[in-house]
Every structure is written in C-alpha cells, then in structure tokens.
Chain A
Amino acid sequence: MVRWSFLVPAVSSLTLAFGCGNGPTEPSSPGTSAPVSLSLSAPSDLVKVRETISFAVIGTFADGSARPVVARWTTDTPAVAVVDQRGNVNGVGSGRVNVIATVQAQTAMKSLRVVPDYAGRWTGLTVIVSCRMGDFRTCGRSFPIDTKGTLTLALSQDDAVVTGGLDVTYRVFTFLTDSVTTRVGNGTGTILEDGRLTLEGRLWTRLSDGRLVGESTLWNWMSAAEANGESVRGAFQELSFSFGGFPQYVGWEFGPLARVPPP
C-alpha cells in the first residue's frame, strides 16, 4: 500500500512533464534547448463560425532538426477566434485573426479568416421599401412600397464564395390589383472581410405556366448573419433600365430570415 501511494504521484509527475495526452511530445520547459525558429501550419486559412481547425507548431533547432513542440497558444482577437492549448482554433465571429504560438519567448503567427456559415435554406419576411421607375404606373401597380412577401434563399458556400437561388412571393392588393407574384432569381457573390454577403445575379417573374419574364438585375445585395448565425437580414435592389437608358429600381429589405432545418 505504501509503495502504491508513492507510485501515483510519480506517474502524475511524468504525465505533467511529458505533456498532455496526444499532442506534441517535445517539452518546452526551461533547461531544454530552445528552438531557433517556429513555424505554424493549418489545413486552411479560413474557417466558418463555430467550426474548429487544428494548428500545429514545428520548432527548428540549432542542430537543424525540426519537430513538433509544445507551445502556449493565443489569438489576438478573441471576438473572431479562440484557441485552446492544443492549437484547436474555434471560429467565433467574422473577421481576421492572428493565431500565435509561443515557445520559450519564440513566437510564430498565422493569419486566419473567419466567415459566417451561409450555406443552407433561409426563409422569412421581405418588404418593398423603394421604387423608382421610368413609368411611375409600374411602381404603383406592380411594386407598391410596403408590400410584404416571403423570401426564400437556397445557398451553397465554398470558403468565401456563395452561390444560390432566391424566390420572392408577394401579394399586391390595391384598388386596381389583387395578384400574387413570384420572382425567382439566382446569384453569386462573396463574403466580405466583415462577414457580410454580397450577391449579383438575375431576377425574373415566374408565370403560372412556368415561363420566366421581366428580367432584371439583382443588384447591390448586402446581407449579414445575426443571432449567432441563426438568422440573416439585409437588402437588395432589382435594377432595369428605361427606354431612355436611365436606371429603374425596386428596393427590397428582408429579415430576419430563419435557417430552415435540413430535412
């Protein structure tokens, strides 16, 4: 029993001295040779919010050898990403962050971009907020301001590039008109450094027989993820041109669009 009692702290001390679990095994305690340089590696320089990516740090020693070393990890912008002491970096918010490893006063740093996860289906309220047309009757008849509808997005995302389709269904109810219109479109765009999404593309009116008419340009789309990535809010414009060549707009705002759970 006495022997066993001595054995336990000995094992614990060994564990402490040789690192924690399955990480790098090279200790960095004072007294061991310090690396002359450090380098960081990661499988990507971009991570989505709430996604985790593992960094590794390699030390190069005076004898020319290089091997993984135990480092103290930190990030300089915790609102964008945090790191644990195994080098696992977790995306917190949109932006760019420096991931920093320190070994015996040597540092290595790598920039990482964090972007929202826009992939998936989103649906929610949209409303016409502005209309300027060459023919003023068009605004009153087809795009009355404050008309509300439903916007559905289906987006896919490859790093910071987003593509997808949208579907706007709205009812115009005036003393002249009572009709339900469906506008469909597609677009492609990129996620800006601040996490907002821009899209450009085309929009059409889908008739009951499926034909697409009335093409306009999907213009000036800007949306942002909210509520920890669970909703999206933004605005866009449809742009076409009058016979004289001057721009005609319909401005929409939307949100919050809720993420539709996958089936």
Chain B
Amino acid sequence: MTRLLALGCMLVCVTGCSDSPTAPTSPTPTGSPVLLTITPATSLLKVGANETFSAFAVFPDGSGTTVAAQWLIDQAAVATVQASGFITAIGPGVATLTARADERTASRSLRVIPDYAATWEGDARIVECRDGDPGDCTSAPCPTRGVCPPVYPPGRILRIAAVLTHRDEHVAGFVSVTECCPVIPAKGTIDLSGALILDGVLERRDSIGSYEWRLLDWKTTIDSATGSMRGSFVQTKPAFGNNRTTPPTRIRCEIIDLRRTSQVLRTF
C-alpha cells in the first residue's frame, strides 16, 4: 500500500512537471477572467478588407481560453463589427475596437487605409510654372529654327503614370511625368486622413557635378465613388543642358484624373 502511494505520488509529480507545450485551454476555468486580450494582432486593414477577431480570457488559475464577448467599435465610418467579432474596413481613419467579457475589456486601435497599390495613368494640368530657362513657362512660339525644348505654360496637360505598391502605410513607387522628366523613384506614406504623401528625387552626375529632378509635395486621395486618384504635386527639372547656373524649372500640377490601369500588379 505504501509503495502504491509512493508510485502515485511520483506519478502526480511527473505529470505536474510536464514540459510539453499545451494549448491555452482549460476544461473548467474558474472565476472571472483576470485578463482579456484580442486576437489576432492585426492593427491595419485596407479599405474593403475583413478580419475576424476573438477575445481570449485568462483566469485566476492561469488557464486561458477564447470566450464570447461583446464587440464595439467607436468609428462606424472607419469600420463595422458584428457580434461575432467580424470586422469590415469601411473608410480611411482610425477606430478603437473593444471587446467586453465578464467585466473585463480589451481594446485594439485599428487603422484603415486606402489601397493605392496599382499602376495609375492619367492627366495632370500645370497650374504654376516658374524659374528655369527663359521661355520654359511660356507658350510663345519657338524663336529659333530646329527642335525646341518642351515648354510648361499653365494650363498645359501632361500625361502622368505612377506605379505604386504598399502593404502597410509605407508606399514606394515610380512616377513618370512625360514630356518633362525621367521616371523618378518615390517613397512616402499614407497619412491618418488616408491621403498619399510622396517625395522623390532622381540624381545624375556629370563631369561638373550632380543635377537632379525632384518630385515634391505629392498629395493625393482616392475618390471612393469613382476610384479616381486626385491631388497635386510639384515637379522640378534642371535647366536646359543641365546648366547649373540657371535655377531648375518648377511646375506645380493638379492631377485631373488618375485611374488604375488594366495592368494588374500581381501579388501573392
């Protein structure tokens, strides 16, 4: 009998010391939760995306399990949540998701951003042109024979292409303003209002030094009704012949209508 007791005690000890990882469940959680968390850890969604969240409760004995919860979201224009924890991202912005179970609450800040990842093509109108070579900003006839360099008078329409990619709020891409400038690599972010902010520079070097094209103050938004991207940007270009003594020509453009092209950026 004594040996049986000893064996049983050792068995209990060995079982209690098991090192094997266990799933965080308990057959009989006791008491009210001492901690509530929201899973998964997703905190950023693109407009139109869905995610199902769960509430995970930890009990006084250290056991934990998924529990039913009441779900709330404070910005219905940003995202909606169903009783099951199923979220739909509606529009750009930040919202707080709250789970409540047995007088415990857990919160998660959720950010919703527009989806800019695409190849965009369309038109922009020059609204301001200054500095640069004499004549750059005028629509005066070419005073000399031969091929004249392009001019950028206000009102002129330029063709724009932008190739953009992003998985979160950090955006990278290339912007092309044809009949003006080479393709410029650009990087930027999506701000809290959902607007895309981009800047870029393309630097070239020659025997004298360096010269550059710049993309500045790009700020665009997507019209949710039409899918059109609109906004404005500033483009600078070196003087003719990359002359360093003449300031670069600076044109400010209003984007009339940029559309996603049929060229799909295939992602996995």
Q: Residues of A at under 8 Å CB distance from B?
A: 2, 5-6, 8-9, 12-13, 15-16, 20-21, 71-78, 80, 82-86, 88, 90, 95-98, 100-107, 109, 111, 129-130, 132, 192-193, 196, 198, 200, 217, 219-220, 222-224, 233-235, 237, 239, 241, 244-247, 249, 251, 253
Q: Give A48 to B18 CA distance when docked, in angstroms.
A: 24
**A residues near B183, Cβ cutoff 8 Å:** 241, 245, 247
Q: Are B266 and A247 in contact (CB under 8 A)?
A: no
Q: Which of A73, A84, A200 is close to B62, meaning CB atoms less than 8 Å apart?
A: A73
Q: Are B16 and A100 in contact (CB under 8 A)?
A: no
Q: Does residue B20 face the partner (Cβ distance < 8 Å to A)?
A: yes
A-B contact pairs, 7 of them (CB 8 A): A20-B17, A74-B64, A76-B64, A102-B34, A102-B35, A241-B176, A246-B176
Q: Are B62 and A74 in contact (CB under 8 A)?
A: yes
The minimal Cβ–Cβ distance linking B260 to chain A, given in whole angstroms, is 13
**A residues near B31, Cβ cutoff 8 Å:** 105
Q: Give A224 to B268 CA distance when docked, in angstroms.
A: 8
Q: Which of B5, B172, B268 is close to A196, meaning CB atoms less than 8 Å apart?
A: B268
Q: Given A74-B64, A95-B41, A130-B266, list of 13 further CB < 8 A pairs? A: A6-B2, A9-B5, A12-B6, A16-B9, A20-B13, A71-B62, A96-B41, A102-B35, A105-B31, A196-B268, A200-B172, A247-B119, A247-B263
B35 to chain A: closest residue by CB: A107
The minimal Cβ–Cβ distance linking A136 to chain B, given in whole angstroms, is 14
Q: Are B268 and A235 in contact (CB under 8 A)?
A: yes
**A residues near B168, Cβ cutoff 8 Å:** 192
**A residues near B63, Cβ cutoff 8 Å:** 72, 74
Q: Give A131 to B56 CA distance when docked, in angstroms.
A: 47
Q: Are A12 and B176 in contact (CB under 8 A)?
A: no
Q: Give A107 to B23 CA distance when docked, in angstroms.
A: 18
Q: Are B9 and A9 in contact (CB under 8 A)?
A: yes
Q: Which of B16, B35, B41, B178 is close to A97, meaning CB atoms less than 8 Å apart?
A: B41
Q: Which of A72, A96, A111, A245 is close to B178, meaning CB atoms less than 8 Å apart?
A: A245
Q: Are B23 and A82 in contact (CB under 8 A)?
A: yes
**A residues near B16, Cβ cutoff 8 Å:** 16, 20
